[in-house]
Structure formats: structure tokens, C-alpha cells
Amino acid sequence: KLDNNLHCPIMMLWFSGKSTIPVIFLQEYLRHFYDYQPKAERQKRTTDISKDDDSTTGSCDKKTKVQEMQRYFGLLPSGELTEETLAVMKKPRCGLSDVEQVGETVRWKKKRISYRLETIKLISVADQNVIFRRAWKLWSNVTPLKFRNRIMTVADIDIFFYSGDHNDSSPFDGRGGVLAHAFMPGLHIGGDVHFDSDEDWSFNSTGINLFAVAIHEFGHALGLSHSSDPGAIMYPAYNFDPNYEPQLSFDDVKNIQKLYGVNPNFTSLTSKRPPPKTPTKCDPYLSFDAVTELQQEVLFFKDRFMWRKHPEFEETRVSLISSLWPDTVPANLDAVYENTWENVVVFFKDQKVWAFSGYDLVSGYPKPISSFGLPKTVKRVDAALYDEQSGKTLFFVGSEYYSYNEATKKMDKGFPKQVDETFLGMTSKVTAALQQGGYTYLYSGPQMFEYAMWSGRLYRVLRNSYFLPCTKY
């Protein structure tokens, strides 16, 4: 194996599925992943003891560390242990610190890397070989690296399934705890990948998806650290989506090519399916799938991502829709609106609609969109706009819109109407809608049209990112 003297930190996919005191859990989480040192530990490490408690500023400030974690995961950086923050902390994730370590880059010094596999009985040997071969191929597709499976001889990377204590100072804890861990490239155990044999491993969506975990761990075995891009394979949280095939993102490809260079066939391999890139809020051509208010926030949806704008915080970070509504709300939404009277948020995708109260799916959902009284000729809703004053929701479909009475659960008579009859100048398709500060905002492609809420008078045509911090008006 690669000859270097660097310390190779272990990386573990970790999940707290057990009850625990939140404050103690928070402290342990921050210590493990964000280099937090409680005051008692700092006193042991230095003779220059500060008289301040944990509320003092600096690298050991607990609130600062919580904010750091919240920013990393696209949460509101309040510094408080909110229910949402705690939920994110308890998700399956990789055990490598999210604080990037400054030092020499660790990588393999050769292009041909061998691996050796010890299988488990839960999945057939043939299926495991296919899964790991596919996972390695994702990395070799974009780099000059070649991976070879060795059956009997010594290999650069050993892949094992272990249970409990397996003599590497990082014991597994049975189903529901540690999923897997890996080591950076190096001598002896360096580069090795260990999976917990007690987990419910699968090659589909019924258990822990071995393919998704393997891609991530192999990235570490090649020398990659974590990425704050929620669309990246190297994002710390385990984000397997049964509706989304795991693949390398633009960010993953860029970072692995920094270490090993570019596969000569990279362009031809990716021309039909380029690496997916997480959308950026400052893209002048960005078109939102949907926009809605949710309590005090405004949520902007695109693909499987969203931005959250809160009036008390200037910054907005992109995060996964599944970070709030795991595995239930689909990507590439058609429309979203919040019914403040019933305190539910409603999602539309194709001919289905979902309603959530908080994070919980309302009983009886999903339903067909026809349950709202829309004619069967309507195959999808382009945008939805809830008016709190009237209790009506407008559904935009092509060049027309419908008015739905939330109290009676019926469509208003006299609809549909032409959009440009009410909203003058709106001749293109409405792709998202929002009411904010006494104005109605209709989105169409990369533009946003500002209307007086009651008169329908057009005031301004703005870019989509108007409400996001990158806008300079």
C-alpha cells in the first residue's frame, strides 16, 4: 500500500437511533464532527485557562459550533438546538469531521488500485460483486484510475463486513447504529472499508442501500473529504432517495479530478448524461419549480433542492427537500402552497397532491389532483397561490387559472379565467406564485412579475433571485 506517515482518520456512517439527552447528544455530536472542546477538556489541554464559560467566543463556543453545523446543512443559523437541528444531527451520516483539516493531500500514488472483498450472506455474492464493481466504476469513469478485484492475493483496499468490535478502535453497534467506516489512503489499514454486517443491507430501497454507501466510502478510500454540497455523494448525511439513482455530482467529479486528473474518455462518457450540478441561487437563468411561504419563511424549490429565506437571517443556503420531508415529497415539483387556515402545506406533482401538517403526511394523502375539483383534462398544475384574506387558492394551468374555496372545498363558479385578464401583461406560462408584503408575485421562467394584490396592476418585472441575497438592486 501507499507509503506515507500521515495519520489516517477513520470515517464512520453513524446514526443515533437511541433515546438520549439532547444536551449531552449535542455536545458529543459537536465534539466529534465540529472540533468542539467543552470547557473541562480545554482546561486539561492548556495552562492558560479562560475564566469564561462556554458562551465565550472562539473555536470552542458551543453556539458558534451549532451555527457552523446549521450553515453546513442549510439550516437557519440560530445557534439554538431546534427540533429540526436535532433531527438533522440524528440522521445517518459519515463520521469524518465536517471541519476540513489543513494539511497534505492524501491520495494513492498509482493509477491501478486493487481491492479484495469479503462478502456477507444477506446479499448474494454475485449481487455484492456487481454493486461494488458499479460503485468503483463511477470513480474510474471520470479519472485515469483502474480498479481490479483480487480474490486471494494482498490488495490495496480490503472491504470487510464486521460485527461489533473488530480491532480497529471503532466497534460497530448492531442494526441502526454505525453503518460503515473507511480509512484514507495509506499503509496497512489505510484505504480499507468496513461495513456493519448487522445492518439490513440491500441493493434496492427496502433497507440500507449498499450501493449508495459504497460510493461514498470509496470516495474516502480514494482521499476525498466531505462536501457541503447537498447534491454531492460526499455530502456527510446519508441521503439515499429511492426515486433517484446514486451518481457522482459535478462537485464530486471536480474534487476527485483534482486528486487524480481526468479520464481521457471523460467527455465522451458524460456527453449524454453530464454530472448533475446543484442549482445556484444567483444563476440568471434559474427557473424555480415552485415558491411558497411557510410560517415565517419563503421556500424556493428547484429539482430536489430548496432555498429557505427567513426575515431574521440574511444568508440562505441550499438544502435537500428531503431534509424536511424525508422520502415522501417528490423532486421536480409542479406547485406548492401553504394553507395558513388549516396549517398545512400542499405539494403537487403530475396528477398527485400531498398535504403535510408540519412534517407529517395528512391522513388520506396523497390524492389525485381531481379531488380538488379540477377537471380531468387537467394533467398537472403549473403553480398555486393561496390568498389568506379570501381563503381562496388559485391554480394556474397553462394560460388559465382556477379559484378554489378552501372552506367549502369546491371550485368557484365562473372559472377557469384567462390569466392575463386578471394579471395584465402575464401572457407566458406561470411557473410559480407567491404573495408577500401586499404584492402578488408571478414567476415565469427566469423572471418574476410584481402585481398589486387586489388591482392586478403590474409594477415591476424582476429576476427570480430578487428575494435571495445575491440580488443587487
Binding site listing: 94, 156, 166, 168, 173-174, 181, 190, 192, 194, 196, 199, 216, 220, 226, 234, 289, 334, 384
Q: How far is CA 47 from CA 15, 44, 55, 208, 294, in A?
A: 36, 8, 20, 47, 49
User: Quick check: is 217 catalytic?
Assistant: yes
Q: What gap in Å lies between CA 212 and CA 131, rounded to an integer?
A: 9
Strands 193-196 and 201-202: unpaired
Catalytic one among 84, 118, 217, 400?
Answer: 217
Q: Which residues are annotated as a binding site for Zn(2+)?
A: 94, 166, 168, 181, 194, 216, 220, 226, 234
Q: What gap in Å lies between CA 432 and CA 71, rounded to an integer?
A: 26
Strands 335-339 and 318-320: unpaired
Contact 15, 176 (CB under 8 A): yes
Active-site residues, by number, are 217
